[in-house]
Amino acid sequence: MKTISLFASLVLEFLFPEGCRICGSMLISGESSFYGLCHSCRDGFAVETASRCEKCGKPLISESCFCLSCRAILETKDESKTQMSYDRLISLFPYTGKWKKLLKAFKFGKSIPLGRFLSERLLEALVLLKADEGEKPVLVPVPPRPGKIRKTGWDQVESLAVLLKKNREAPPVLRCLKRLKSETQKKLNRKRRQENLRGRVFAKGNIPKICVLFDDVITTGSTMDACAKALKDSGAEKVYGICLFYD
């Protein structure tokens, strides 16, 4: 199956050349055309297996168990800050430089090939997460803000969900969260983000025991937290998160 897809991608790239979405070099193999990235750019986006913060999942530099910002949150007495309903999180790449360029090329180019590449990195994050505790985990996309798809015709997380659903190596994908209208999160701080989202995310239908939320970028973790809380309130026992970029 994949051989056909690789060949079809190569033919498509030959007819309508787009080149590597990062460095612009010509794509001359099926694999490179399939992912929209040349071999060396793909190598540059390899997932680091370094030890990670047990809470936010960012790679650790010299700390052990928790990164400095999570340690500060876990030690604070201010309850609004300690709320993190998810059990564990893995986030893969810093949202800077070439990684930022990669997400922007995927998002603004609505690029299916880059979506394939990124959805496979999410599956690598899933392996690092070790969420498989007897029961098979189910993947749950973080829902877009209401009206986003209607307005832009596209949502990058939904696009990853579609690609993961097609991938036979991926666990099942269940769109069981719904988000109600709230203020745009971008300009708000952590506390305001949490308040803004409280009660604005709902779970519907039968909720699996082990859920793994996935998202493109994590900033304060408030969205992940609200989604995890909604899943746990509806019966999930464990909620993990995987995320491509951390800001």
What are the residues facing 173 on neighbouring strands? 139
Give min distance, CB of 55 to Zn ion, in A.
5
Minimum CB distance to Zn ion smaller for 39 or for 175? 39
Contact status, residue 95 vs residue 247, Cβ threshold 8 Å: yes
Q: Residue 94 burial (CB < 10 Å; 0-12/13-18/19+)?
A: middle
Give min distance, CB of 242 to Zn ion, in A.
14
d(CA 104, CA 171): 26
Q: What residue ranges in 10-112 does DSSP mark as E strands?
A: 88-94
Minimum CB distance to Zn ion smaller for 91 or for 182? 91
Length of the chain: 247
Residue 129: other Cβ atoms inside 10 A: 19
Minimum CB distance to Zn ion smaller for 112 or for 162? 112
Q: Kindly tell me the sign of the dihedral angle through the C-alpha atoms of 206, 209, 210, 213.
A: positive
Site residues for Zn ion per CB under 5 A: 20, 22-23, 38, 41, 53, 55-56, 67, 70
User: Strands 238-246 and 210-218, how do they pair?
Assistant: parallel
Give min distance, CB of 54 to Zn ion, in A.
8
Give min distance, CB of 207 to Zn ion, in A.
26
Minimum CB distance to Zn ion smaller for 53 or for 243? 53
Give min distance, CB of 237 to Zn ion, in A.
23
- Identify the residue whose tokens are 């893969």: 92
Minimum CB distance to Zn ion smaller for 101 or for 148? 101
Closest Cα to residue 30, out of 58, 50, 2, 52? 2
- Identify the residue whose tokens are 């990164």: 67
Give min distance, CB of 235 to Zn ion, in A.
27
Minimum CB distance to Zn ion smaller for 23 or for 149? 23
